[in-house]
Structure 1
């Protein structure tokens, strides 16, 4: 996926979940944050960031905060895309190009029971569900999810576990919008129930996948598999 009009800036503050104050070319700009997660290790005063400007003059904010450079002692900065819509967008591209093999009838936002799953398709006559989770938290080479408790994510994992027992092919795809993580693991310290549910899902046949991304200020593309440690 590609962005259109991306410009560098410096992060200043986050007065609420939805907006950030940025410094750009000597002036203060208010940007919309396309991620309601904490992102506490990324959104630090002075961090270099990237804003996508909108052509819509009626918007309350002129731009969206889409990526941040994370400083790491002794290592180059790590560019992380924090656009919460991006993981599903790149997952759609990846699935369409054969990431899980040839699929038929791929469609997003599939309603089943009382839930809505990110993608549905059929594969050799077998139904397939893919639930996508974006993972922006990185610590010492490990990508961790979630960075805050997620009841919706927990419910989806448990529902996929039940569907796998009924013969569905079910996958949880963790998209790491960064490059270089050596492993992925559930963040047990933040939500033990999610870590337990993910382990139970894997035991029931749900595929737990992690893929990193090639990240640039104006683009994001799924790249390589990352080892999953449950």
Structure 2
């Protein structure tokens, strides 16, 4: 479902081929799922790669519907990639391999206020003791950008993370240091749950990340949650930019 008040903002981002629909049978490990494919052919007990380290417990549970794409690469142990899962009445993208293309689209299409004058985009740059997603340059200013994908919703809130993330906390701390060094720091949150009205951290899952996130806000790190929808039409999946989300708490 799309927010009608924001319908003028909806923009197509990318298309993802969908080659099968199935039912999840089990998730033996974090990156492996067992799926019975039900369309366009019937295949029982297929191994599929899950390209997301999160728990995804409200999406990847036995009996839920999933969408698959054939894997590329001869050395792959699994023949399929899991692309999306059903949540309520919507499909949710759960393949983090597409985050780079989506976030690059956000930057290039000037979706975020303050990033309109970007002249240089360098992916995967070292910042302190971490590798952050982007180093941008605008008007002589360095802008460090970290991208997070949000697939969990609770009571109408988009929340991150859905599993403890020491790495995520470390990234936030590097953004704080960047601001201290007179650079600009931005966190882009790609929210894939469309029926949400605000974004916040999941303190019950990772209080350490929440504490770092709050420090970052107070130190001047900018956080931009953006909602994306996944729409399936036959054997094509399309990602659309929907709207910006406010933070659930105003600390600054």
Query: Paired residue for 1:27?
Result: 43
Q: Which residue of 2 aligns with 1:74?
A: none
In structure 1, distance between residues paired with 2:206 and 2:228? 25
Q: 1:107 is matched with which residue: 97, 112, 122?
A: 122
SS at match of 2:104: helix
**CA contact under 8 A between 2:152 and 2:193: conserved in structure 1?**
no
Greater RCO, 1 or 2 (C-alpha within 8 Å, sep 6+): 2
What is the rounded CA distance, in whole Å, between the counterparts of 1:57 and 1:111 in structure 2?
31
> Do residues 17 (structure 1) and 33 (structure 2) align?
no
SS at match of 1:15: strand
Paired position in structure 2 for 1:89 = 101
Work out whether residues 87 and 177 of structure 1, in 8 Å CA contact, stay in contact via their aligned partners in 2.
no
1:78 aligns with 2:90: yes
Report the TM-score when normalising by structure 2. Answer: 0.84
Structure 1 residue runs of 5 or longer lacking an equivalent are 72-76
- The match for 2:184 is 169
Say whether 1:223 aligns with 2:242. Answer: yes
Question: When the two structures are superposed, what TM-score results if normalisation uses the length of structure 1?
Answer: 0.92
Aligned-partner Cα distance in 2 for 1:98–1:204 = 24
Are 1:189 and 2:204 an aligned pair? yes
- Give the CA deviation at 1:140: 2.1
Asked whether the equivalents of residues 177 and 220 of structure 1 are also in contact (C-alpha less than 8 Å), the reply is no
- Structure 1 stretches (4+) deviating beyond 4 angstroms? 55-58
Question: 1:40 Cα deviation (Å)?
Answer: 1.0
Q: In the aligned structure 2, how far is the partner of 1:64 from the partner of 1:12?
A: 15
2:10 maps to which residue?
none
Contact 1:175–1:222, Cα closer than 8 Å, also in 2: no
Q: What is the DSSP-based 3-state SS (H/G/I as helix, E as strand, rest coil) of the residue aligned with 2:53? A: coil
Give per-residue Cα distances to partners, 1:115-156, cap 9 Å, x unaligned: 111011111111001100001111121111011111111111
Residue 7 (structure 1) shift: 2.0
Matches of 1:222 and 1:196, distance apart in 2: 29
Structure 2 gap segments, 5+ residues each: 1-13
Q: Which residue of 2 aligns with 1:140?
A: 155
User: What is the aligned-residue RMSD (CA, Å)?
Assistant: 1.6
Deviation of 1:113 (Å): 2.7
